[in-house]
Amino acid sequence: MRIAEVSEKYNLTQDTLRYYERIGLIPPVSRNESGIRDYNESDCRWIEFIKCMRSAGLAIEVLIEYVDLFQQGESTALERKALLIDQRDQLIHRIKEMQETLQRLNGKIERYERCILPIEDELKTISVK
Protein backbone atom coordinates (compact mmCIF):
# COMPACT_ATOMS: atom_id res chain seq x y z
CA MET A 1 0.00 0.00 0.00
CA ARG A 2 1.25 3.42 -0.97
CA ILE A 3 1.12 6.39 1.39
CA ALA A 4 -1.77 7.95 -0.54
CA GLU A 5 -4.02 4.95 0.08
CA VAL A 6 -3.06 4.67 3.74
CA SER A 7 -3.65 8.38 4.19
CA GLU A 8 -7.16 7.99 2.82
CA LYS A 9 -7.90 4.78 4.69
CA TYR A 10 -7.06 6.22 8.09
CA ASN A 11 -7.87 9.84 7.40
CA LEU A 12 -4.41 11.05 8.31
CA THR A 13 -2.48 13.34 5.98
CA GLN A 14 0.60 11.97 4.23
CA ASP A 15 2.56 14.55 6.17
CA THR A 16 1.26 13.19 9.43
CA LEU A 17 2.08 9.60 8.44
CA ARG A 18 5.64 10.55 7.53
CA TYR A 19 5.92 12.64 10.68
CA TYR A 20 4.77 9.72 12.86
CA GLU A 21 7.33 7.46 11.28
CA ARG A 22 10.08 10.07 11.52
CA ILE A 23 9.65 10.53 15.26
CA GLY A 24 9.27 6.80 15.91
CA LEU A 25 5.58 6.81 16.73
CA ILE A 26 5.25 3.89 14.36
CA PRO A 27 8.05 1.46 13.48
CA PRO A 28 9.91 2.11 10.18
CA VAL A 29 7.72 1.27 7.21
CA SER A 30 9.08 -1.09 4.55
CA ARG A 31 10.11 0.41 1.20
CA ASN A 32 10.22 -0.81 -2.38
CA GLU A 33 13.37 -0.80 -4.55
CA SER A 34 13.06 2.92 -5.27
CA GLY A 35 12.71 3.88 -1.61
CA ILE A 36 8.98 4.47 -1.67
CA ARG A 37 6.95 3.43 1.38
CA ASP A 38 4.99 0.21 0.92
CA TYR A 39 2.80 -0.24 4.01
CA ASN A 40 2.07 -3.86 4.94
CA GLU A 41 -0.54 -5.38 7.27
CA SER A 42 1.54 -4.83 10.36
CA ASP A 43 2.30 -1.20 9.46
CA CYS A 44 -1.43 -0.60 9.09
CA ARG A 45 -2.22 -2.18 12.43
CA TRP A 46 0.31 0.10 14.08
CA ILE A 47 -1.21 3.15 12.46
CA GLU A 48 -4.66 2.14 13.54
CA PHE A 49 -3.51 1.47 17.09
CA ILE A 50 -1.66 4.76 17.36
CA LYS A 51 -4.55 6.69 15.87
CA CYS A 52 -6.88 5.17 18.44
CA MET A 53 -4.56 5.96 21.35
CA ARG A 54 -3.97 9.49 20.12
CA SER A 55 -7.69 10.10 19.76
CA ALA A 56 -8.03 9.35 23.47
CA GLY A 57 -5.32 11.87 24.26
CA LEU A 58 -2.35 9.64 25.05
CA ALA A 59 0.81 11.71 24.61
CA ILE A 60 3.01 11.11 21.59
CA GLU A 61 6.03 10.90 23.86
CA VAL A 62 4.59 7.93 25.79
CA LEU A 63 3.54 6.11 22.63
CA ILE A 64 7.02 6.57 21.17
CA GLU A 65 8.38 4.90 24.26
CA TYR A 66 5.94 2.02 23.84
CA VAL A 67 6.93 1.50 20.19
CA ASP A 68 10.57 1.69 21.18
CA LEU A 69 10.16 -0.96 23.89
CA PHE A 70 8.22 -3.11 21.47
CA GLN A 71 11.07 -3.00 19.00
CA GLN A 72 13.54 -4.05 21.66
CA GLY A 73 11.74 -7.40 21.81
CA GLU A 74 10.22 -9.76 24.32
CA SER A 75 12.46 -8.77 27.19
CA THR A 76 10.56 -5.48 27.56
CA ALA A 77 7.12 -7.07 27.91
CA LEU A 78 6.80 -6.32 31.62
CA GLU A 79 7.82 -2.73 31.10
CA ARG A 80 5.33 -2.34 28.26
CA LYS A 81 2.58 -3.77 30.38
CA ALA A 82 3.39 -1.33 33.18
CA LEU A 83 3.32 1.55 30.71
CA LEU A 84 -0.09 0.50 29.42
CA ILE A 85 -1.49 0.15 32.93
CA ASP A 86 -0.22 3.58 33.83
CA GLN A 87 -1.79 5.11 30.75
CA ARG A 88 -5.05 3.27 31.33
CA ASP A 89 -5.26 4.63 34.86
CA GLN A 90 -4.66 8.15 33.63
CA LEU A 91 -7.31 7.63 30.99
CA ILE A 92 -9.83 6.45 33.57
CA HIS A 93 -9.10 9.57 35.58
CA ARG A 94 -9.62 11.85 32.62
CA ILE A 95 -12.87 10.13 31.69
CA LYS A 96 -14.13 10.61 35.24
CA GLU A 97 -13.21 14.28 35.13
CA MET A 98 -15.02 14.70 31.84
CA GLN A 99 -18.10 12.96 33.13
CA GLU A 100 -18.22 15.38 36.04
CA THR A 101 -17.94 18.30 33.66
CA LEU A 102 -20.70 16.74 31.57
CA GLN A 103 -22.98 16.64 34.62
CA ARG A 104 -22.24 20.25 35.27
CA LEU A 105 -22.86 21.28 31.67
CA ASN A 106 -26.16 19.41 31.72
CA GLY A 107 -27.18 21.20 34.90
CA LYS A 108 -26.32 24.54 33.37
CA ILE A 109 -28.24 23.77 30.21
CA GLU A 110 -31.28 22.74 32.26
CA ARG A 111 -31.16 26.00 34.12
CA TYR A 112 -31.09 27.85 30.82
CA GLU A 113 -34.06 25.75 29.78
CA ARG A 114 -36.09 26.78 32.81
CA CYS A 115 -35.18 30.44 32.47
CA ILE A 116 -35.40 30.72 28.77
CA LEU A 117 -38.46 28.67 27.90
CA PRO A 118 -40.76 31.63 28.58
CA ILE A 119 -38.60 33.77 26.29
CA GLU A 120 -38.61 31.15 23.56
CA ASP A 121 -42.38 30.86 23.79
CA GLU A 122 -42.67 34.58 23.52
CA LEU A 123 -40.46 34.64 20.43
CA LYS A 124 -42.61 31.98 18.80
CA THR A 125 -45.74 33.95 19.58
CA ILE A 126 -44.23 37.03 18.00
CA SER A 127 -43.15 35.25 14.85
CA VAL A 128 -46.68 33.85 14.49
CA LYS A 129 -48.24 37.26 14.81
Selected binder of a copy of itself within 30, 31, 105, 124 (CB under 8 A): 105
Provide the strand spans (E) within 9-124. Answer: none
The interface mask with a copy of itself, positions 32-61, x = CB under 8 A, is --------------------xx-xxxx---
CB of 32 to a copy of itself, least distance (A): 31
Stretch that binds a copy of itself, among 11-19, 26-34, 35-43, 102-110 (CB under 8 A): 102-110
Integer Cα distance of 33 and 47 in angstroms: 23
Nearest Cα residue to 94 out of 127, 122, 59, 119 = 59
Integer Cα distance of 50 and 23 in angstroms: 13
- CA Rg, the chain, in Å? 23
Integer Cα distance of 36 and 8 in angstroms: 17
For binding to DNA (CB under 7 A), which residues are involved? 2-5, 13-16, 18-19, 22, 31, 33-37, 54, 59-61
Selected binder of a copy of itself within 95, 121, 122, 124 (CB under 8 A): 95
Integer Cα distance of 54 and 59 in angstroms: 7
Contact footprint for a copy of itself (CB under 8 A): 52-53, 55-58, 77-78, 80-81, 84-85, 87-88, 91-92, 94-95, 97-102, 104-106, 108-109, 112-113, 115-116, 119-120
